[in-house]
C-alpha cells in the first residue's frame, strides 16, 4: 500500500507559501477527546474500539469527511506504518500501539486525523511556508465537522480536555519548521534560540552525529495552550517567526558580504556531491540539501526548484525509499538506492 503516494510529493508540498525561502512548513494540531470515554492510554480494548467506531461512523455519515480515506493501523504492515510516520501523517507514538487505532488522511494529505493516539482524536493540518491562518482554517473545518457529529470532552473552565495537562484548553499546538543555515554559520544561533524562548515559545534543534545541527532545521512552537485564544497563540508564533526570518536574512546578507566565495564554494560542493555521489546516508543528504536550499534562496544556484529539494528530503527517508522503489533493502543497499534517486531527481 501507498506505493503510488510515495511516487509523488505530498500534495501540500507543491505550493509555495509565505517566507518559503526560510520557513518549510506550518503545522497545526488540535487535540480532542470524546465525552464519556476514557483516554486511549487508560482505555480498555472495548473503549478503544468504540472510539474507532464513532470516528468511522462520522466518516461514513459526513460528505465532507468522505473526501478522505481511513485506515486501521493494525491492518497496515510495518513498512506502511513507518511510511506514514515519515510522511507526518501519524506520529512515532502511534507505532507503540497499533490495535484499535487508525488514521484519516484528507485530500492532498493536508489534513490527517490520528484516532487513539495520546488523545482520542488529533487533527493535524500542514501547509507550505508560513501560513498560520490557512493551516488553522483547514484544521478547524474538520474540527467543526467532527464536533457536530460527536460530543467533545469540554469543560467551561479548562476548555478542551486532554490526556496531558500541557495540551488542555485550546488543545492547539502550532509549529513552524524553519531553516536557519545563515544563523548557524554566523554562530548567532544560540542567541536567537535564547531570544525565542524568552518570548515564551519552544524551540527545538535536531543534532546529528557531529556538532552541526542536522539540516539546520529548527522548530518553533507554542509552549502553552490554556488562557489564550487560538488567534493569539497563532499571532505570537507568526510574529516571532517573522523576527527570526528577519535575523536569518540579515545573517545571509552578512555571509554574502564577508564570505561570499567561501559560501558559494560550500554550496556548490554540496550540490556536486548530491549530483554525482554513489552512496549517500540520509543524514548526509539532509546536510547537503540544507546547503543547496541556502544556495537557491541566495540566488547562487538557479534552475532548480525548492519543490525538488523538498521531494528529495522526503524520499530520502528509509521507508519512503522502500515504497518508492517497491522493495526491501539493507542499509547499505539503501544508501546506494538513495544516491541513485537523488541523481535522478537532479538530472
Partner 1 sequence: MRCQDCKEKDSTVSMTHIINNEKVILNLCRECAAKRGFHSPLDSIPFPLANLLTGMLSPAPSSKKTAQAVGLPDLTCSQCQLTFTEFSRLGRFGCGNCYNTFREKLQGLLRKIHGSSLHRGKLPPMLSEDGNAIKEQERLQAELDRAIEAEDFERAADLRDKIKSLVNEDEAQTEKEKENV
Give me the residue label for grid cell 478503544: 48
Q: Residue 105, interface with partner 1 (CB under 8 A)?
A: no
Smallest gap, in angstroms, from Cβ of residue 213 to partner 1? 9
Q: Where are the beta strands (DSSP E) in the chain?
A: 23-32, 69-72, 102-105, 111-115, 121-128, 154-155, 159-160, 172-179, 201-207, 213-222
Decide whether 76 or 89 has the Cβ nearer to partner 1: 89
Decide whether 16 or 232 has the Cβ nearer to partner 1: 232
Please name the helix (run of DSSP H) or strand (run of DSSP E) that holds residue 283, with its range, or none.
helix 282-297
Q: State which of positions 69-98 bind partner 1 (CB under 8 A).
A: 85-86, 88, 91-93
Q: Are 208 and 282 in contact (CB under 8 A)?
A: no
Task: Count residues binding partner 1 (CB under 8 A).
Answer: 74
Stretch that binds partner 1, among 34-42, 63-71, 240-248, 339-347 (CB under 8 A): 34-42
Q: State which of positions 170-199 bind partner 1 (CB under 8 A).
A: 170, 172-173, 175, 177, 193-194, 196-198
User: Rounded CA gap, 104 and 2, in Å?
Assistant: 14
Considering only 80, 225, 245, 322, the residue that binds partner 1 (CB under 8 A) is 225
User: Rounded CA gap, 226 and 153, in Å?
Assistant: 15
Smallest gap, in angstroms, from Cβ of residue 137 to partner 1? 13
Please name the helix (run of DSSP H) or strand (run of DSSP E) that holds residue 296, with its range, or none.
helix 282-297
Q: Are 24 and 250 in contact (CB under 8 A)?
A: no
Q: Which residues contact 274 (CB under 8 A, 6 or more apart)?
A: 280, 285, 288, 289, 292, 312, 342, 343, 346
Q: Residue 331, interface with partner 1 (CB under 8 A)?
A: no
Q: Residue 27, interface with partner 1 (CB under 8 A)?
A: yes
Q: State which of positions 264-303 bind partner 1 (CB under 8 A).
A: 286
Smallest gap, in angstroms, from Cβ of residue 148 to partner 1? 5
Q: Residue 121, interface with partner 1 (CB under 8 A)?
A: no
Considering only 20, 21, 33, 112, the residue that binds partner 1 (CB under 8 A) is 33
Half-sphere exposure of 151 (CA within 13 A, CB side): 5
> 203-220 as b/e, with b when 16 or more CB fall inside 10 Å?
bebeeeeeeebbbbbbbb
Smallest gap, in angstroms, from Cβ of residue 256 to partner 1? 26
> What end-to-end distance do the CA atoms of the chain give, in Å?
28
- 3-class SS at 263? helix
Q: Residue 227, interface with partner 1 (CB under 8 A)?
A: yes
Decide whether 21 or 124 has the Cβ nearer to partner 1: 124
Cβ atoms within 10 Å of 308's Cβ, excluding its own: 16
Smallest gap, in angstroms, from Cβ of residue 142 to partner 1? 11
Q: State which of positions 122-141 bind partner 1 (CB under 8 A).
A: none
Decide whether 300 or 313 has the Cβ nearer to partner 1: 313
Considering only 164, 276, 305, 333, the residue that binds partner 1 (CB under 8 A) is 164
Nearest 5°: the CA angle 91, 92, 97 is 100
Nearest to 144 by CA among 123, 126, 120, 164: 123
Smallest gap, in angstroms, from Cβ of residue 253 to partner 1? 26
Smallest gap, in angstroms, from Cβ of residue 230 to partner 1? 5
Stretch that binds partner 1, among 57-65, 144-152, 239-247, 336-344 (CB under 8 A): 144-152
Decide whether 32 or 300 has the Cβ nearer to partner 1: 32
Cβ atoms within 10 Å of 186's Cβ, excluding its own: 19
Q: Residue 144, interface with partner 1 (CB under 8 A)?
A: yes
Q: Residue 152, interface with partner 1 (CB under 8 A)?
A: yes
Amino acid at each position: 500500500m501507498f506505493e503510488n503516494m510515495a511516487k509523488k510529493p505530498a500534495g501540500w508540498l507543491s505550493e509555495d507559501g509565505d517566507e518559503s525561502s526560510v520557513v518549510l512548513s506550518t503545522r497545526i494540531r488540535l487535540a480532542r477527546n470524546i465525552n464519556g470515554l476514557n483516554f486511549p492510554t487508560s482505555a480498555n480494548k472495548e473503549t478503544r474500539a468504540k472510539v474507532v467506531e464513532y470516528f468511522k461512523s462520522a466518516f461514513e455519515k459526513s460528505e465532507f469527511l468522505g473526501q478522505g480515506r481511513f485506515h486501521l493501523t493494525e491492518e497496515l504492515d510495518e513498512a506502511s506504518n513507518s511510511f506514514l510516520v515519515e510522511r507526518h501523517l501519524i506520529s512515532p507514538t502511534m507505532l507503540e500501539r497499533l490495535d484499535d487505532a487508525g488514521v484519516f488522511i484528507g485530500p492532498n494529505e493536508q489534513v490527517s486525523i490520528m484516532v487513539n493516539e495520546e488523545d482520542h482524536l488529533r487533527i493535524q493540518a500542514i501547509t507550505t511556508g508560513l501560513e498560520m491562518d490557512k493551516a488553522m482554517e483547514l484544521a478547524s473545518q474538520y474540527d467543526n465537522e467532527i464536533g457536530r457529529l460527536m460530543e467533545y470532552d469540554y469543560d467551561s473552565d479548562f476548555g478542551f480536555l486532554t490526556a496531558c495537562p500541557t495540551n488542555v484548553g485550546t488543545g492547539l499546538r502550532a509549529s513552524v519548521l524553519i531553516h536557519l543555515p545563515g544563523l548557524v554559520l554566523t554562530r548567532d544561533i544560540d542567541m536567537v534560540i535564547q531570544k525565542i524562548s524568552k518570548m515564551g515559545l519552544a524551540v527545538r534543534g535536531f543534532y546529528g552525529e557531529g556538532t552541526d545541527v542536522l539540516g539546520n532545521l529548527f522548530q518553533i512552537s507554542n509552549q502553552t495552550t490554556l488562557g489564550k485564544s487560538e488567534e493569539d497563540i497563532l499571532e505570537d508564533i507568526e510574529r516571532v517567526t517573522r523576527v527570526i526570518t528577519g535575523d536569518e536574512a540579515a545573517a545571509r546578507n552578512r555571509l554574502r558580504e564577508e564570505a561570499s566565495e567561501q559560501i558559494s564554494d560550500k554550496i556548490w560542493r554540496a550540490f556536486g556531491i548530491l549530483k554525482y555521489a554513489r552512496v549517500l546516508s540520509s543524514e548526509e543528504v539532509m546536510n547537503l540539501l540544507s546547503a543547496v536550499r541556502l544556495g537557491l534562496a541566495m540566488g547562487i544556484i538557479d534552475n532548480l526548484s525548492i519543490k525538488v529539494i523538498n521531494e528529495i528530503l522526503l524520499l530520502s527517508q528509509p521507508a519512503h525509499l522502500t515504497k518508492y522503489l517497491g522493495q526491501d533493502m539493507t542499509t547499505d543497499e539503501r544508501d546506494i538506492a538513495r544516491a541513485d534517486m537523488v541523481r535522478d531527481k537532479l538530472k
